[in-house]
A and B are shown apart, each in its own frame.
Chain A
Amino acid sequence: MSKFNSILQKLDSLDRRIIFLIIGLVVLLPLLIPLNLPVEATGLTRDAFEAIHHLPDDATVLMSFEYGPSTKPEIHPMAVSVLRHFMSRGYKVVIMCLWPDGLFMAREAIDEVLRDEKFSNLVYGVDYVNLGYRPGNEAVIKGITKSFAANYTVDSRQTDIMDIPLMNDVRTVADVDFIFSLSAGYPGAIEWVLYASDPLQIPVSSGNASIQVNQLLPYVKSGQMQGVIAGMPGAAEYEALMEEYGLWPTRGQAAKSMDAQSIAHLVIVLFIILGNISYFAKRKSQKKY
């Protein structure tokens, strides 16, 4: 018993590098040997999916990229899934970026989606357009509530915005039927609610980095946002819904990564429990002497 107690106490002074190594291994192993754990959509993701799925057939949607490589593993899978969903439903997609890196994320997502033959007939400038990045944070959002042309003279390919057929019908953000923000922080989903969705009553939803989800839940609860895709699990759930609705047949990147995510969470919970036991064991022994 005393040996067990001393092991518990030693845990308290365990070299942190051993913990890093264990976490690294429990994340790596499921990536090498997939477990294919089931993924089921929760209410938040389903709300976002349903809101998108039931837009009118001729809807125009605005997709804003507010993330970069640092949050790519979480947000990029949902960007691909949501863009694929928009294009599968035949919506016109206007893409813009409030983060400089968002431009590259948008290009990657577009390329990945268009690789499928199903979308080979889509024409740039008619079915979708990438307006690119503009600095100015919420001022850009505020600006496009008045005029796209005043903020975007050219798109990301340096094409005059007046020469883009899709933009002839989209003069301001009020001309879009839905806003979807892929957000990893500021500026992001909250700014879209504050400066575009609420004032103009445009439905908005968002795919977020996990760390931002707690800030967005009040907007969902109050009906200001139509669901939220929360981090990597949310992206995996969205992929599951795409499969359920017959829009995409295969398990995506997020679903594949969820095995590692789940196992890592279990190990972290175990560490927390062990850490607490060790703490109390140490306290008890200190009281004893």
Chain B
Amino acid sequence: MYTDVFGAWVAVFLTLAIFSYLYKDNPFYKLAEHVYVGVSAAHWATIAFWSQVRPNLFGRLWPYMDPAELSGFNVVWYKLYNALNWMSGTIFPENGIPGNQTQSFMYLFALVLGIFMLLRLVPSIGWLSRWSLAYVVGMAAGLRLYGYLSSDVLSQIQGTILPIWTGSLGESLNNIVLIVGVVSGLFYFFFSVEHKGVFGKISRVGIYFLMITFGASFGFAVMGRISLLIGRLTDLIEFSKRQYGYATYILLAVMIATIIITTRRDKEIAE
């Protein structure tokens, strides 16, 4: 119960602090902005470590093993792990990371690339991080190539090859608009020929289609922003209730008073 009330006060404070920027830049906004950046980074790092790095990297390099079953290289390998266990028993519990992972030394490659990435913090050997980045860029390019070719190019071309007359007036009109829009839009992006004459007229139609698309995007963006405002205001209304100690009213009053006082003081100093 108390944690709910505390959470509500924090949420209200941060919401109002961010909204206060609409009036003018002020210390409340600055504080909320810095808290947001710091918490986001810490939150992401923690989640990534506990859900990916620990089970999927360390868990595969040092899966749980009965010490009696260790043999060969693993004897030395798990001695190294014991040193990690000594550093933190929570992250590296005794005898390996629990789970059903099978041991795979291929993940040493990932570990090394991960360490290289962090070496950006050491300027003299920071260049090693480029190897990791090169791997990420290469992997992403290779991974996306097939997906884009298949789904974004071929399937979209297939989706544009439509009959002009389908038997239904509405559907046929829709298809014609789609075909004209795609063709004229492509004409506009063809820069090897000067845009004049018939070519210019078709590319002009393409511009109109693009403008309508941007307009629709802007409309959706406005709709999204209003939705977010609705979300914050819904929370502010909820947290203004007695069960939350009238958090919204109290914090709003405190913030308005503080901003008025600081504004007056700033004016006086300026004068």
A interface list, Cβ under 8 A from B: 17, 20, 23-24, 27-28, 31-32, 70-74, 100-101, 103, 132-136, 138-139, 142, 149, 151, 153-154, 156, 160-162, 191, 193-195, 198-199, 209-211, 213-214, 218-219, 221-224, 230-233, 253, 257, 260-261, 264-265, 268
From A70, A153, A230, contact of B100 by CB (8 A): A153
In the complex, are the beta carbons of A198 and B150 less than 8 A apart?
yes
In the complex, are the beta carbons of A265 and B226 less than 8 A apart?
yes
Could you tell me the distance in whole angstroms from the C-beta of B113 to the nearest C-beta in chain A? 14
Q: Report 20 cross-chain contacts, Cβ distance below 8 Å, ordered by A residue.
A: A17-B23, A73-B231, A74-B231, A100-B43, A100-B47, A135-B51, A151-B56, A153-B99, A153-B100, A154-B55, A154-B99, A160-B98, A161-B100, A199-B147, A199-B150, A211-B221, A211-B224, A261-B230, A264-B226, A268-B226
B193 at the A/B interface (Cβ < 8 Å)?
A: no
Between A24, A264, A265, the greatest number of chain B beta carbons within 10 A of the residue's beta carbon is seen for A264
List B contacts of A74 (CB < 8 A). 224, 227-228, 231
List A contacts of B237 (CB < 8 A). 28, 31-32
List B contacts of A223 (CB < 8 A). 159
B152 at the A/B interface (Cβ < 8 Å)?
A: yes
Between B47, B48, B159, B213, the greatest number of chain A beta carbons within 10 A of the residue's beta carbon is seen for B47
In the complex, are the beta carbons of B230 and A73 less than 8 A apart?
yes
Considering the complex, give the chain B residue whose CB is closest to the CB of A131. B51
In the complex, are the beta carbons of B229 and A134 less than 8 A apart?
no
In the complex, are the beta carbons of B220 and A214 less than 8 A apart?
yes
In the complex, are the beta carbons of A232 and B227 less than 8 A apart?
yes
From A31, A132, A230, A268, contact of B233 by CB (8 A): A31
Instruction: Give bound CA distance, A156 to B52, whole Å.
Output: 11
List A contacts of B96 (CB < 8 A). none
In the complex, are the beta carbons of B147 and A210 less than 8 A apart?
no
In the complex, are the beta carbons of B147 and A194 less than 8 A apart?
yes
From A139, A194, A209, contact of B139 by CB (8 A): A139
Could you tell me the distance in whole angstroms from the C-beta of B104 to the nearest C-beta in chain A? 10
Could you tell me the distance in whole angstroms from the C-beta of B7 to the nearest C-beta in chain A? 13
Annotate B180-223 by CB proximity to A: 1 below 8 A, 0 otherwise. Answer: 00000000000000000000000000000000010011001111
Contacts A31-B230, A210-B227 given: A135-B221 contact, CB under 8 Å? no
In the complex, are the beta carbons of A31 and B234 less than 8 A apart?
yes
In the complex, are the beta carbons of B147 and A138 less than 8 A apart?
yes
In the complex, are the beta carbons of B47 and A20 less than 8 A apart?
no
From A17, A210, A224, A268, contact of B224 by CB (8 A): A210
From A17, A209, A222, A257, contact of B158 by CB (8 A): A222
In the complex, are the beta carbons of B150 and A162 less than 8 A apart?
no
B101 at the A/B interface (Cβ < 8 Å)?
A: yes
In the complex, are the beta carbons of A138 and B139 less than 8 A apart?
no
Between B23, B216, B228, the greatest number of chain A beta carbons within 10 A of the residue's beta carbon is seen for B228
List B contacts of A135 (CB < 8 A). 48, 51-52
List A contacts of B88 (CB < 8 A). none
16 further interface pairs, Cβ-Cβ under 8 Å (given A153-B59, A265-B226) = A27-B233, A31-B230, A73-B234, A134-B51, A138-B140, A138-B144, A154-B55, A160-B99, A198-B151, A210-B221, A214-B216, A222-B160, A224-B159, A264-B226, A268-B222, A268-B226
List A contacts of B139 (CB < 8 A). 139
